Amino acid sequence: MRAAWCGFRSPLAGDIERYLGAKRAMGCKFASEDRTLRLLDRYLVEHRVLSLGEVTGACLEQFLASRGRVNARGFNHLLGVVRRLLDWMVDQQVLVESPLQLGPRREGVRRQPFLFDTDAIRRLLAAAALLPDNARAPMRGPAYETIFALLAGLGLRIGEVARLQCGDVDLEREALQIRDTKFGKSRLVPFGPKLSARLRVYLGLRERQGMPCRGAAPLFSWNGRHPVSTNTIRNTFRDDLLPQLALAVPAGVFGPHVHGLRHSFAVRTLLNWYRQGIAPATRLNHLSTFLGHVNPTSTAVYLTITSELFEQANRRFEAFAPAARAEMQP
């Protein structure tokens, strides 16, 4: 096993550190980019690239090839991280132009995420509620029922739910304080009476078990001190719950996974707006804020992941078109 690569040591070291510092000052964690740029830095050191002038297009393409990214999406992510660093260096006048001219790989037909319908979510919560306790995990059923209710009902990220503290739950205002998000920003997420009732029941059970229910105590914890891990939630979903649901997966669709609950929430919200006669594009900023996206373009992708959205749009157009044509006739 290779030792961890501490610090930056290549000819790009100072520029990488300044680049990451500038991005983090804007509120971005940049953890994935940090890992990728450490790989690049290590590659340059191990291949004895000693000066900025030796960081050529061929050198960078060899680095990209060395990572063995066969999948177009993975390769393009790696390429994008390196390219954005070099473009920043051009903006900072460190480079006259980027040495990396390689274009992205073309993706094949992109598979869509599995979307959970209302019945699948209902059955998921029912199965979660019946999970038996074990020696290390008391109140396992109520905890997982509440965890998956929050994931499905509010579209939260799995890490956001895992890190919730008891003090983040405001039952009076019916809102959750989401801290330490993917992009380092906090937000307030409102919830309705059904989730409010679930949270009251769950907190009441915790209190009767003698577990801490206030302040910084983890909302979901088996020992009252450490929050449940995201991997534990994923493994429980995959190994204990998913086999019970027997979900039919359409062709061209990824198999069900926990993050699909977030996708499903976003698409369901957009569909509801369509059904109410509201153009989703006019509300993307609202959904983007609710989901904790920094850029609404991240939210706009949900407009393309289900054909039902387009079917709804077509029906609205067909209803509108005759009247529009009549108005246009002399």
Sequence spans of domains, the chain? 13-91, 109-330
Beta strand spans in 218-290 (E): none
State the pLDDT at residue 242: 94
Q: Which residues are catalytic?
A: 157, 182, 259, 262, 293, 302
State the pLDDT at residue 326: 44
Q: Which CATH architecture has domain 109-330?
A: Orthogonal Bundle (1.10)
Q: Which H or E element spans position 25?
A: helix 13-25
pTM above 0.85, yes or no: no
- Reading the chain (330 residues) residue by residue, the pLDDT tens digits are 455 556 789 999 999 999 999 888 877 777 888 999 999 999 999 999 999 999 999 999 999 989 887 678 788 889 999 999 999 999 999 999 999 988 888 766 566 788 899 999 999 999 999 999 888 888 999 999 999 999 999 999 999 999 999 999 999 999 999 987 766 678 889 999 999 999 999 999 999 988 888 899 999 998 888 999 999 999 999 999 999 999 998 877 788 999 999 988 888 888 888 888 887 777 778 888 778 777 666 666 666 654 455 554 455 445 544 443 444 343
Largest CA distance in the chain: 79
Helices (H), 47-182: 57-66, 72-91, 118-129, 140-154, 158-162
What distance lies between CA 97 and its chain's CA centroid? 33
C-alpha span between 72 and 76 (Å, rounded): 6
State the pLDDT at residue 62: 92
State the pLDDT at residue 305: 57
Q: Supply angle C-alpha 313, 314, 319, rounded to 5.
A: 100
